[in-house]
Homo-oligomer: A and B are copies of this chain.
């Protein structure tokens, strides 16, 4: 496999190294850190120009900083071969998916991995081990391209998880951007409360909750604005919940507060445990028309029904008109998955 990594920092460099070592991929890198990545033996070749790096590529991963993601992805789409899968690693998907609209080769990606120490020198082979890696195909995305990216991610040790573009962005607004905004609010609120009395503040809850306050201001401004629509909705929700809690405290409603506190405990446990699955797998084989989007349709359909696809493969038929998708799901969710596929008009063999 020929892999091209555009932007060889912590994420791009780690991905390159894992692909070389675990898949035997031939990896080309391009970008300001490409020479350093070559010296560190993360990649096989450092290319000077984007076009050279894309020649004959099977997969391209765009791993540039967020503020250049849309621009570079457009350049890659213009220059990459016709049968090349293109993905990215941006933490917000709507802008780059829109930029790639009408291009069946593109599938948006977002690994939940990273490190406090950025830069190519901190790249390591195991950065994505067991890490959730979101993929956001659309109805335009080619099933073949989606499968190729999905398989590559599984092979390097990550856990690819398919989700809709807007669901992804809403989820990130709730679990990543909203915590950052609330951490800032807490710091500034505490600062105002302590204005006249500079006394030690050492509560463990305060330190935990504000750990992410004030993270890289330029980067986080870009993230807030890239996901503005979803984040504003989450902020409205948070304000509404705060207002309800304030009202309960104000009227001395102990019963409401105890129930609320207990609900938070229960939901936190459920959220923290979500994604822990495992166990015996079942293979489901589904004949499908050989057209773009059918694999994304299946993946999103099962995702909506809370069914996680652990692995999948697409086998086109010889005449190119029909194919068979093989899906592996947990044994327990197999009956529900079959039912769900029936409803999509794609009965299991």
Q: Interface residues, chain A, CB within 8 Å of chain B?
A: 112, 131-132, 134, 159, 161, 163-164, 167, 170-171, 173-176, 178-194, 196-203, 205-218, 220-222, 224-225, 228, 231-232, 234-239, 241-243, 245-246, 249-250, 252, 254, 257-268, 270-272, 274-275, 303-304, 306, 308
Whether B201 pairs with A272 at a CB distance below 8 angstroms is: yes
Q: Are B246 and A201 in contact (CB under 8 A)?
A: no
Please indicate the chain B residues that have their CB under 8 angstroms from the CB of A265 in the complex. Answer: 213-215, 217
Find out whether the CB atom of A303 lies under 8 angstroms from the CB atom of B197.
yes
Bound form: Cα–Cα A170–B194 in Å? 9
Contact of A198 among B197, B221, B234, B306 (CB under 8 A): B306
The residues of B that contact A184 with a CB separation of less than 8 Å are 241, 245, 260-261, 264
- Picked from B175, B201, B243, B267, the residue with its CB within 8 Å of the CB of A203 is B175
Whole-angstrom distance from the CB of A212 to the nearest CB of chain B? 4
| Structural contact, A232 and B215, CB atoms closer than 8 A | no
User: Binding site of A, secondary structure by majority: helix, strand, loop or mixed?
Assistant: helix
Q: Assembly of this chain: how many copies?
A: 2
Q: Which of B176, B193, B205 contacts A180 (CB 8 A)?
A: B205
Complex CA–CA separation, A202 to B128 (angstroms): 13
The minimal Cβ–Cβ distance linking A308 to chain B, given in whole angstroms, is 8
Q: Is A249's CB under 8 angstroms from B231's CB?
A: yes
**Contact partner of A257 among B193, B221, B242, CB < 8 A?**
B221
**Interchain CB contact under 8 A, A190 and B271:** yes
Other-chain residue from B134, B201, B250 in contact with A271 (beta carbon distance below 8 A): B201
A134 to chain B minimum Cβ distance, whole angstroms, is 8
**A171/B186 in contact, CB under 8 A:** no
Minimum CB distance partner of A267 in chain B: B191
The smallest C-beta distance from A31 to any residue of chain B, in angstroms, reads 25
**A203 / chain B contacts, CB cutoff of 8 Å:** 112, 175-176, 179
CB–CB A185/B235 < 8 A: no
- Of chain B, the residue at the smallest CB distance from A193 is B174
4 cross-chain pairs, A with B, having the tightest CB-CB distances, nearest first: A214-B265, A200-B275, A174-B193, A214-B264
In the bound assembly, the distance between CA atoms of A304 and B193 in angstroms comes to 13
Given that A132-B199, A171-B193, A268-B213 are known contacts, is A243 also in contact with B239, CB under 8 Å in the complex? Answer: yes
